[in-house]
Amino acid sequence: MSAIKYELIKEDKRSGARVGKIITPHGEIPTPIFMPVGTRATVKAMLPESLKEINAKIILGNTYHLYLRPGDDIIKKAGGLHKFMNWDRPILTDSGGFQVFSLSKTNDITEEGVTFRSHIDGSRHFISPEKSMEIQNNLGSDIMMAFDECVPYGADKKYTKDSLEMTTRWAKRCKEAHKNTEHQGLFGIVQGGMFKDLRKQSAEQLIDLDFPGYALGGLSVGEPMDMMFDLLDYTTPLLPKDKPRYLMGVGSPDALLEGVKSGIDMFDCVLQTRMARNGTALTSAGKVTLKNAKYKEDFTPLDDKCDCYVCRNYTKAYLRHLVICKEILSSMLVSYHNLYFTLKLMENMRNAIMEDRFLEFKHEFEKEYGII
Ligand SMILES: CC1(C)O[C@@H]2[C@@H](CO[C@@]3(CNc4nc5cc6c(=O)[nH]c(N)nc6cc5[nH]4)OC(C)(C)O[C@@H]23)O1
Ligand SMILES: [Zn+2]
């Protein structure tokens, strides 16, 4: 019996968009949903109470980072990641493979697993599918991701095919090593690079292994946006309708709209909080770069269409002042607004799908945001 169940509530008649609900041991998640990224047991500059205020339903943690610091053994002793970070809602943990490739300098990939040097102190480590399962089990996340190889953008077809076939073998090993099936669900990750036939092969092989949910990996890795959207449109419908689909590492408002249109249910991205720390806000009229001198005496809210705590209590001039002075509060307030804006966009998409006006909503948003 899987710890993760999905209920399909409504399908859009004119696109792949759909509304659903994911039921997890730590609560229910309405979909489509955006998941704030809490890599090292914190969504940067956000209190758990603030995350609840903006209606965050699920956050991400990361196996690679938490294994290196503070150590999954310490988090286990603390009673698991939920207790350790004071977050009692669902948590999804990525499996570590991707971070090894994107963060650590030297890594040696074999059938057994990956040997790498820590990006923190250069110490040598080894992660296998079994080790990734052990770490995620110690963390106690509601949704665990299979250990996979994310091939770099531009990898050739032979390498990509060999890699996806190893990722399938690793997924099988993860499933066999996955013990705590009552309390933790395990999602497979579709690879296949930029090749549609390999994406199909990867999806079919993982569907045969029967996971409670499927992620699209190997995207948002530097490929052109329209290439990602084309692969999305092709691959998403290959996945089971009665299981959640998760697009890893995506994304900006335009990518979220396209992903929902293709039938994606779950998203995560560091963009919202990373941009905030650089003083850039997402608003209904597009991006606002607060450092711009034109905001020096602009005493209007960040976004006059946003009803969040930040837009109700502060002005662009004040936020610009905080950013220029590199005040810690600037990261807190702009992160709060960017995440609220993104979660509100997902809620508005869910409502539009329920009311059979998703494509109209998408067009209106894109026009006002400046995408079209
Ligand atoms: C969009 C934005 C701002 O997000 C940033 C930066 C560069 O892209 C990101 C986001 N893209 C991304 N693609 C992924 C693919 C996989 C994957 O195939 N497997 C597994 N296990 N996890 C994955 C996680 C992923 N995250 O990846 C890092 C390098 C984490 O920084 C993120 O641009
Ligand atoms: Zn706001």
CA of 312 to the centre of ligand 1 (A): 33
**Out of 12, 72, 94, 265, which one is annotated catalytic?**
94
Instruction: Please give the helix or strand (H or E) that residue 143 lies within, else none.
Output: strand 143-145
Backbone angles phi, psi at 260, to 5 degrees: -65, -40
List the domains of the chain with CATH numbers.
Answer: 5-275 (3.20.20.105)
What's residue 100's pLDDT?
Answer: 83
Ligand 1 binding pocket, CB closer than 6 Å: 94-95, 97-98, 102, 145, 148, 150, 189, 217-218, 220-221, 248-249, 251, 269-271
The predicted model gives 160-181 an average pLDDT of 97
Residue 1 has pLDDT above 80, yes or no: no
pLDDT of residue 105: 72
Span from the CA of 310 to the centroid of ligand 2 (angstroms): 5
Q: What is the pLDDT of residue 103?
A: 83
Is a pLDDT exceeding 80 seen at residue 90?
yes
Q: CA angle 57-140-164, nearest 5°?
A: 90
| Helix spans in the chain (H) | 48-53, 63-68, 72-77, 81-84, 97-103, 129-139, 157-177, 196-208, 225-235, 253-262, 271-277, 309-313, 316-324, 328-354, 358-369
User: What's the one-letter identity of residue 101?
Assistant: F
Instruction: Please give the residue that has the higher pLDDT: either 100 or 126.
Output: 126
Q: Does 95 count as an annotated binding residue? A: yes
Express each pLDDT in 184-231 by its tens digit.
Answer: 999 999 999 999 999 999 999 999 999 999 999 999 999 999 999 999
Cα angle vertex 204, ends 198, 207, to 5°?
A: 140
Task: Retrieve residue 136's tokens.
Answer: 């995620």
Among 220, 247, 272, residue to substitute to test ligand 1 (most atoms within 8 Å of Cβ) = 220
User: Looking at 12, 142, 265, 268, which residue is catalytic?
Assistant: 268
Ligand 1 atom at minimal distance to the Cα of residue 95: 21
Task: Say whether pLDDT at 104 is over 90.
Answer: no
User: Which residue from 95, 150, 258 has its CB within 8 A of the most atoms of ligand 1, so it is best to mutate?
Assistant: 150
> How far, in Å, are 29, 42, 45, 46, 186 from residue 49 at the CA level?
18, 12, 12, 8, 28
- Ligand 1 atom with the smallest distance to the CA of 96 is 21
Q: Is the dihedral of CA 69, 70, 73, 76 positive or negative?
A: negative
Nearest CA to ligand 1 atom 2: 271
Residues contacting 357, CB < 8 A, separation 6+: none
Amino acid (one-letter) located at 9: I
ipTM value: 0.97
pLDDT > 70 in the chain, percent: 100
Q: What global pTM score does this model have?
A: 0.98
Q: Which pair of structure tokens corresponds to residue 135?
A: 């770490």
| pLDDT tens figures, 4-16 | 999 999 999 999 9
Mean pLDDT throughout 283-307?
Answer: 98
Cis previous bond, 154, omega within 30: no
